[in-house]
């Protein structure tokens, strides 16, 4: 599979009054064409900051301290998104990568009709289109999200939450992007609407071959649509791999904690338990592994939480990586006997 976005050692800091908050800590990630990848994280995980980093939308007091984000076009040409000029950005945004922001229902201008939103968006990035052309394309994308073209004449307040979200997804499709980044696209929606939106997105990906990057905290939602999953905690990627592998057999105590903490309809209720503690203060300088405060492996004495060892990822399966060296070591120890057998 062809790589389409390459994030290399991205670090984003926020400069507050007299301290620095490291929202993203040395994040490296590859995103492949035509896949649906979900970035999972709760508050303070750094996933939203990462998203704004990918789009080069980090604004003061945040700043990109180091790292690069490369976009690789079909012909192999690679551009560093973070170093684009404003005019290049304008062409790049929405045509190559578009976004559906979090709580985007509130991002619609209440005094503009839906059709004006489409027109404004297109003209901002491609000034040589006529209104007719734009509206025709708008009808097309609206059909994709199962909305009738009459919606174009509506004002945002006349639409339900689910309809607004679909309008925004349609808007993100209008310039035929290759990648769409969605930040919590179903969070404020009802279960039925959420189901439809996920169905929509899954179809969009299959039919149009678009890469979808999902940011969410809802593992259950993700498990329905995502091929790959990336779990973030305190600004770092703690585990990544194919959804089935990571969620079926987590290899990081945080992922395991998350899977155990989320109730669903068919499981054994008595097996649910929350993760103790709360997300750490990201302005502190960490002397141990960032997860020690809440980690059951550390608390049971199986791990020392050595910070240095958590500065890289370890393989724990096919295309599966974890930041927990203790778990990786246990995984390796499991493998070795078989190797020993085959060697003699």
Partner 1 sequence: MTAILSVENMGIAFDSRSEKNKQVHVLHDIDLAIEQGEIIALVGESGSGKTTLGKVMVGLFEPTSGSLKYKGKEISKLNKKEFRQYRLDVQMVHQDSFAALNPNRTIFQSLSLPLIQNKIVKNTQEAMNLLIDYFNEVGLLPADQFLSKYPHQLSGGQRQRILLARALSVKPKVIVADEPVSMVDVSLRIAIIDLMTRMNQKYNISFVYITHDLATARYVAKNGRLAVMYLGEIVETNQIKAAIDYPTHPYFQALIAAVPEHIGTAGDTEIKDLPLRTLDMPSITNPPSGCRFHTRCPYYKERCKLEAPELRSYKGGLVSCHFAEEIDVLHRKQQKLTDLINTPVTMN
Partner 2 sequence: MELQQEGYVTPVAPHFDKFKGVKEFFRVIWKNKMARVGLIIVIIFMLIAALGPLVVTTPKSDYLARLQNPSLAHPLGTDYAGRDIFSMFILGTRAVLIVGLYAGVFAVAIASAVGITAGLLGGKVDEMLMILTNIVLTMPSFPVMMVLSMIINVNNNFLFGLVLSLWSWAALAKAIRTQVLTMRNKEFIEASRLMGVSTFNIITKDIFPNIVSFVTVNFISIMKGTIVTSVGLMVLGLVPFDGQHWGMMMQMAMSQTSLLYGGIQPIVNFMTPVMGILLFQLGCYLFAMGIDEAMNPRLR
333 touching partner 1, by CB under 8 A: no
Residues β-bridged to residue 64: 12
Q: Is 276 buried (19+), middle (13-18) or exposed (0-12) by CB count in 10 A? A: exposed
Give me the DSSP letters along 281-310.
PTTSPPSB-TTGGG-HHHHTTS---BTGGG
Could you tell me the smallest distance in angstroms from the CB atom of residue 270 to partner 2? 11
Residues 150-189 interacting with partner 2 (rule: CB under 8 A):
none
* Sheet containing 211-216: order of strands: 97-100, 179-183, 211-216, 36-40, 228-233, 236-242, 320-322, 314-317
Residue 192 CA to residue 200 CA, distance in Å, equals 12
Residue from the set 1, 74, 77, 192 that interacts with partner 1 by CB under 8 A: 192
Could you tell me the smallest distance in angstroms from the CB atom of residue 142 to partner 1? 14
Task: Please give the structure tokens belonging to residue 23.
Answer: 């929202």
In this complex, which beta carbon is closest to partner 1, that of residue 35 or of residue 126? 35
274 touching partner 2, by CB under 8 A: yes
Query: Residue 212 — left, alpha, or beta (φ > 0 → left; ψ -120 to 50 → alpha)?
Result: beta
Site string for partner 1, 231-260 (x = CB under 8 A): ------------xx--xx--------xxx-
In this complex, which beta carbon is closest to partner 2, that of residue 146 or of residue 273? 273
146 touching partner 1, by CB under 8 A: yes
Residue from the set 9, 19, 146, 273 that interacts with partner 2 by CB under 8 A: 273
Residue 150 CA to residue 244 CA, distance in Å, equals 41
CB atoms within 10 A of CB 116: 13
SS3 316: strand
Listed ranges 139-147, 161-169, 270-278, 333-341: which one lies at the site for partner 2 (CB under 8 A)? 270-278
Could you tell me the smallest distance in angstroms from the CB atom of residue 269 to partner 2? 12
Instruction: Note the Cα 328 to chain centre separation in Å.
Output: 24
Residue from the set 277, 281, 319, 334 that interacts with partner 2 by CB under 8 A: 277
Binding site for partner 2 (CB under 8 A): 273-274, 276-277
- Residues forming contacts to partner 1 in the complex (CB under 8 A) are 36, 42-43, 146, 160-163, 190-196, 198-199, 202, 217-227, 243-244, 247-248, 257-259, 261-267, 269, 272-275, 278-279
């Amino acid at each position: 599979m062809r790589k389409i976005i390459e994030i290399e050692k991205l670090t984003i800091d926020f400069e507050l009054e007299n301290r620095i908050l490291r929202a993203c800590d040395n994040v490296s990630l590859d995103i492949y064409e035509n896949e649906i990848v979900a970035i999972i994280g709760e508050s303070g995980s750094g996933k939203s900051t990462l998203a704004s980093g990918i789009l080069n939308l980090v604004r003061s007091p945040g700043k990109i301290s180091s790292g690069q984000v490369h976009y690789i076009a079909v012909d192999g040409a690679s551009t560093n998104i973070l170093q684009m000029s404003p005019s290049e950005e304008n062409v790049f945004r929405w045509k190559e990568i578009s976004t559906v922001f979090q709580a985007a229902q509130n991002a619609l201008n209440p005094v503009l009709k839906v059709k004006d939103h489409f027109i404004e968006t297109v003209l901002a990035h491609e000034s040589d289109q006529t209104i007719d052309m734009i509206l025709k394309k708008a009808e097309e994308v609206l059909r994709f999200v199962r909305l009738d073209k009459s919606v174009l004449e509506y004002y945002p307040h006349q639409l339900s939450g689910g309809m607004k979200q679909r309008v925004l997804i349609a808007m993100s499709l209008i310039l035929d992007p290759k990648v769409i980044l969605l930040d919590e696209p179903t969070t404020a929606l009802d279960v039925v609407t959420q189901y439809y939106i996920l169905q929509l997105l899954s179809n969009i990906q299959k039919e149009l071959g678009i890469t979808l990057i999902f940011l969410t905290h809802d593992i259950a939602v993700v498990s329905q649509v995502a091929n790959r999953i990336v779990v973030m905690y305190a600004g770092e990627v703690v585990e990544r791999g194919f959804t089935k592998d990571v969620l079926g057999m987590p290899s990081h105590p945080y992922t395991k904690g998350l899977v155990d903490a989320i109730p669903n309809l068919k499981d054994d209720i008595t097996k649910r338990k929350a993760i103790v503690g709360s997300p750490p203060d990201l302005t502190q300088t960490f002397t141990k592994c960032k997860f020690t405060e809440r980690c059951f492996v550390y608390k049971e004495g199986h791990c020392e939480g050595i910070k240095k060892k958590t500065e890289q990822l370890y393989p724990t399966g096919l295309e599966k990586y974890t930041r927990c060296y203790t778990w990786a070591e246990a995984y390796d120890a499991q493998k070795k006997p078989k190797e020993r057998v085959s060697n003699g």
